[in-house]
Amino acid sequence: MFLDGLDSLDQKIVQLLIQNARMSYSEIGQQVGISRVAVKMRVQSLEQRGVIEEYTTIINPQKISGAVSCYFEMEAAPDMLLKISETLSQNDTITQIYRVTGQSKLHVHAVAASGEKMEELIREVIDPLPGVISCSCNIILSRIKDIKGLRL
């Protein structure tokens, strides 16, 4: 599985943090059978090695009145892909950008405060991008399943 490169103790610690990233070192230590200090050292090692990248709060934009969430599928001229990615990265409405297989495609996620703000993003940022061959926009109506990070 994904965690095969970790020893069994680190695997247990990571699994607990995936379930609850706010779990204290003491709680983790009690569940895996080591001291709080030993847990802290192992977690810090996992962070330093890049196994654990970050701890974050996930906001559901659909629970905020008027927020609109969209996915864009963009096909770009290969020589413009980097420039397009850099331009999109600088916009705060854009929350995720993925390079995906296919014809120099980008998968882009955006969350705007309103439909009007999403339309503004499309009109003022996406439409004028040089090198975009095609772009489709899909508004997210509801969240059915959304897994963040690695789940085991």
Give yes or no: residues 18 and 85 share one domain.
no
- 106 contacts: CB under 8 Å, gap ≥ 6: 72, 73, 74, 76, 81, 84, 85, 88, 97, 98, 99, 100
Q: What is the pLDDT of residues 41-56, one digit of tens each?
A: 999 999 999 989 888 7
Q: Name the DSSP class of 57.
A: P
> What is the value of pTM for the model shown?
0.68
Per the structure, the complete domain to which residue 93 belongs is given by 61-139
- For range 111-137, the mean pLDDT: 94
Give yes or no: residues 15 and 68 share one domain.
no
Give yes or no: residues 32 and 99 share one domain.
no
Question: CA nearest 14: which of 36, 38, 40, 46?
Answer: 46
Confidence of residue 149 (pLDDT cuts 50, 70, 90): low
pLDDT of residue 107 exceeding 80, the answer is: yes
Say how many residues make up the chain: 152
Find the CATH number of the domain harbouring 66: 3.30.70.920
pLDDT of residue 151 exceeding 60, the answer is: no
